[in-house]
Amino acid sequence: MLKVLLILSLLCTVAHSNIIVRGRGLDDSGSTAGESKGSWVLLGSMCFDAKTEDELTIVATGLAEGSNQRILFYDDESGSFANAVGAKSCAEKVKHAKQLSYDDKDGKTVTLDGVDLVKGEKKTQKIKISEQYKHQWYFVASNCGDTVETEKPVNVEYSITSNLNVDCSILFAKASVAGYIVACIFMVIMVILLAGLSYCFYVKSKPPSMPSMKDNTGYNEL
C-alpha cells in the first residue's frame, strides 16, 4: 500500500508539472488599431471560442508605395502563423496566409487571400469567422514583392473590430489545479502516516532481546 501511494504521489506531481498555459493574445479587446511600418508586420491578434460565428470589420488606409500592400490572415493551426514566422523571405511568409470569405452585395460568398490596399485609399472590408474549435487569429500587414529587392515597407493606418472575440488568456487558460494540490497533500500525509505505522509495527514485531549473563567462573563463592 505504501508503494502504491508513493507511485500515485509521483504521478500527481508529474501531472501538475505538465499543465501548459497558452500565452495571452496581443489584443484581447473587441478591436485593435494603430499605425505600423515594416515589410511584414504583425498588427494584432484575436481569439474566438469554439462554435463561434462572427463578422470582422477591417478598416485600413495604405500609406506606402507599392502595389503589393495587403492585410493577411493567419491562425494558430500548424502550417499557418508559426510557419510564416519561420519563413526566410517576405514572399514565403505570404504563402502561409489563410483564406477568409465575405458575402458580396448579391449574397454570393467571395474568398479572399487578403485585403489589398492602395496608397491613400481608405478601404473597409467585412470578413466572416466560422469556428468549430477555439482558435487564435493573427493579422499581418505585408508589402512583399517577388524578390527581396522589390520588397517595400508597409505603412498602414488600420482598425480591426469584432463583436464575439474573447480574452485569449481566458480561452486558453489552464484548468484549476486546486484538486491536484489537495490530492497531492493528502497523499503525502498518508505516506507519512503509513511510514510511521510501518516503523511501529516493525519495532513491535522484533523479538525481545535476552539480558546478557555475566560469567563468574573462577570467583570464590561465599
pTM of the model: 0.59
Q: Establish if 96 belongs to a structural domain.
A: yes
Let me know whether 55 and 153 are in one domain: yes
Let me know whether 141 and 163 are in one domain: yes
- According to DSSP, residue 149 is labeled G
Cell digits of residue 122: 481608405
Query: Tens digit of pLDDT for each residue in 52-103?
Result: 888 889 999 988 876 688 899 999 888 899 999 999 888 889 999 988 877 7
Query: Tens digit of pLDDT for each residue in 130-185?
Result: 888 888 999 999 988 766 666 788 888 999 998 888 888 887 775 545 566 777 78
**Count of residues making up the chain:** 222
d(CA 181, CA 169): 22
Q: Phi and psi (nearest 5°) for 150?
A: -95, 0
Q: How many CA atoms lie within 13 A of 101 on its CB side?
A: 8
d(CA 108, CA 95): 25
Let me know whether 153 and 56 are in one domain: yes
* Segment (H or E) for 42: strand 40-48
Let me know whether 199 and 149 are in one domain: no
Evaluated on CA atoms 187, 193, 198, 201, the torsion sign reads: negative
